[in-house]
Structure 1
């Protein structure tokens, strides 16, 4: 068991290199192959330990950025919870590998694991899904056809077919596994030559403002007034450049999350600053604001601020971050005094989640908004796209992570979303990275970290849905059903073999069992 766990743990560490900042995506199938081999032919408890080792190796490295930014306690707690999912899947793997077509069953179970841990417990953590890691590879165009979940399935299936090839005892089994892997890979890269594109419904010119954060740049609360003023100044300067003919006049302007880190409806100076900026540029600004919601709660909102009518429609962040923007079980924890210490003491009020499904209308354009981590979740974007959104915006404040790899990881996720949805994405960050991403995932323009900058680009607007949006959502439900069915089938086979077996060789739980023994379907 020790060797299996060590091998799985090392594979987990290597898997983290498939994502930013190293971003060698081709490592993913190899790492998953090791995961499958480490959980093959053993009892469920051994599979759990090996899978847990994989999860610890992967997730503790993948989100290490939480430790220096949010705190070591939050990093250890979150990474530990996420690692448990890989352990549970390891136990499931030992059962599913009793089935003859186990690479497919296990790949579906992998998708189940990814989608469950992305939403639970509390708000979940979607970082580290395989589909987010294929940017700049031949698999990336497949996101438009099968979505993030479908690409995760393909990558997992390739890895598990490779494991089947290694575990096979006969030439026929090896040839079958190799042939299946070649077919899956060949089909998966067809979108490279046949990319899915939506029909353009028009175009618009969008300006993305990155005002920069005062001081070191890692705390938006150090100088709240200065933070908003930076965005006002950058927008007023943009207006001057437009008047001088140096840049085209935008139809809409995007400010980032926390561009007003204090309620703009209660703070007169911040309110006045927004009014100055919006009147100077003469077009609507999507302002990112923290808005009071009583003594105990706040809202994280994107507010459409019109130069004539003032503040109007709002989008409220769907997925506040547990222990970053709200404290689950606050009453229980308060009795221990922990909420008065460290990072938790910086969260005196809980952020309330939003549920808006209609896109915002900005300058007559239906816009799907996402605030920071929202971009990694499936539900909010899909709801707004279902109601006709033609452009995507991401308002984010990465200041807390400005010296970490989280910045590039989130930008890569955003690029994956652009391909999956078939739309341009305008990203506004307080101090990096901001930019505009095309529907094929290419970066049209981007800023540097810790700078004040403005990006102005004319982009096409698109209507309709890519196949990937529907496939990804349907595959999530299919994977749940397939995992339950596969585990039930595997358990029935185990019980049947235990009742009918008279010799140790036929025991399907034996570590040295040949891959074909006890397998069916």
Structure 2
């Protein structure tokens, strides 16, 4: 029988059992980064409307940068995906209000996949010199991709849309939402680089640390420097604008079942506005804006609807932009804004160009029907093909219908077409009292600064608003109330640098991401002799 020999040596020389401790360490090494990635997504979400915690976004990206720095591509993808789920699951919860969790979860996962790819790219470039610059470019590259693909893209949730106020916002007037988003992301990744360098040996705290600190602070300083460029002055006088919110009979998708009641509500509120004008309680408006879907009865084909709208327009004595669902010459429905003159009746029109997939139209309807019969509730709308600006009592009004406000090109096209003010007629009744209407209002506020225009937001059920060119909200309604807002807004024709540059800031900033990924791949191949 062999005796067991006890271990000898000092306590420092004796290693504890390797098994359980090693497994625990491995578990921590996996769980902590995963938890950090999810937390970064949640922090980014918490900065969005209805909260105005714009300053949370840089900290979200600082945490993401710490999590992704030095990781391999597969780990980067997984952590980016977790960040995306922590972000998009709460941000897009309103998409399942009336159709259940399946569409919401599918959309959130699809969008999170883009952030998984962003995480992969950021991990690749995180070993490059001045990595926060390349990493921010990678983020912009994936934002640009998901704004265009699939089904014409889904730009909702761009980083810029969480900045309707705060230090970074003036940058929207210089480079639009791409520059605004890039600045926020760069500041966060710069902060992550500062933390990483401070954790290293003191001898490494040299120029690289200074550079990281500059990258953290410079975007904030640039926003402060750009503040004087955000102009609100009236270049061509002012227009007195009325925004009508008629309310709907009931919340949810089935509000459309009472289409006539929705029209009646907007007629009634416009008649009430006309009475207030006659009593001298409010100024007489030069023009009146109705929301999207304020007449889901085609006034071209339905004489009763035509008569009711005509009555309201004549009573208020001003041209009205009417949101209607109409049947075009090809027999297909259009989501249309109609310029209705009190003397000439219906005239110019604008058809919504960016339609909402799975709502206004259903791609691959037969395939998706295998998963849910709710696909048959989606419409069969056809998109418009061109911008249009309404000449309303000497004011150029550019309609941007609801969901379109999230697309850079649609808003820019209307300004370039000659819009002196912008109108964003919307219908949020489908999403009840969710955060959707507040998220959309934040987008509209960013657009006001980006293009230097007052933005009027008539919504069927709220929140309707009057937004100044500096992004501040001058007036707003409650939700699911019948109200009208009357305000004087500046008419402006000058174009911001962002408007003039168009898509180029996005191309250049996304190009940084492409260049960074290319450089990182080349370095990896060189290191491995490939």
Normalized against structure 2, the TM-score is what?
0.89
Gaps of 5+ in 1: 501-521
SS of aligned partner of 1:301: strand
| Residue-by-residue CA offset, 1:479-521 (whole Å, 9 max, x unaligned) | 3332222211111111111129xxxxxxxxxxxxxxxxxxxxx
Offset at residue 261 of structure 1 (A) = 1.5
| Residue-by-residue CA offset, 1:105-136 (whole Å, 9 max, x unaligned) | 11112112112212211032222111111223
Matches within 5 A, 1:2-401: 2-168=31-197, 169=200, 170-172=204-206, 173-192=208-227, 195-196=230-231, 200-216=235-251, 219-293=254-328, 297-333=332-368, 336=370, 341-342=373-374, 344-347=375-378, 349-401=379-431
SS of aligned partner of 1:354: coil
Distance in 1 separating the partners of 2:229 and 2:251: 46
Q: Which residue of 2 aligns with 1:463?
A: 493
Residues 218 and 402 in structure 1, CA contact (< 8 A), matched pair in contact too: no
Q: Which residue of 1 aligns with 2:19?
A: none
**Structure 1 residues 296, 311: CA separation in 2 closer, same or farther (over 3 Å shift)?**
closer
Q: Max radius of gyration: which structure? A: 2
| Residue-by-residue CA offset, 1:345-368 (whole Å, 9 max, x unaligned) | 222x41111122232222232211
SS of aligned partner of 1:100: coil
Offset at residue 151 of structure 1 (A) = 0.9
Distance in 1 separating the partners of 2:510 and 2:164: 26
Q: Which residue of 1 aligns with 2:440?
A: 410
Distance in 2 separating the partners of 1:479 and 1:308: 50
Gaps of 5+ in 2: 1-29
Offset at residue 472 of structure 1 (A) = 6.0
Offset at residue 291 of structure 1 (A) = 1.0
> How many residues matched?
495
Residues 304 and 312 in structure 1, CA contact (< 8 A), matched pair in contact too: yes
Residues 220 and 258 in structure 1, CA contact (< 8 A), matched pair in contact too: no
Residues 123 and 321 in structure 1, CA contact (< 8 A), matched pair in contact too: no
SS of aligned partner of 2:257: coil
**Structure 1 residues 288, 60: CA separation in 2 closer, same or farther (over 3 Å shift)?**
same
Residues 199 and 463 in structure 1, CA contact (< 8 A), matched pair in contact too: no
Please identify, of 286-295 and 379-388, the stretch whose mean Cα deviation from structure 2 is larger: 286-295
Please identify, of 383-392 and 261-270, the stretch whose mean Cα deviation from structure 2 is larger: 261-270
Offset at residue 406 of structure 1 (A) = 0.7
Offset at residue 473 of structure 1 (A) = 2.1
Distance in 2 separating the partners of 1:179 and 1:116: 29
Distance in 2 separating the partners of 1:176 and 1:333: 50
Offset at residue 158 of structure 1 (A) = 0.4
Residues 291 and 299 in structure 1, CA contact (< 8 A), matched pair in contact too: yes
Distance in 2 separating the partners of 1:268 and 1:13: 51
Distance in 2 separating the partners of 1:199 and 1:245: 25
| Residue-by-residue CA offset, 1:303-335 (whole Å, 9 max, x unaligned) | 10111211111111121111011100125446x
**Structure 1 residues 468, 379: CA separation in 2 closer, same or farther (over 3 Å shift)?**
same
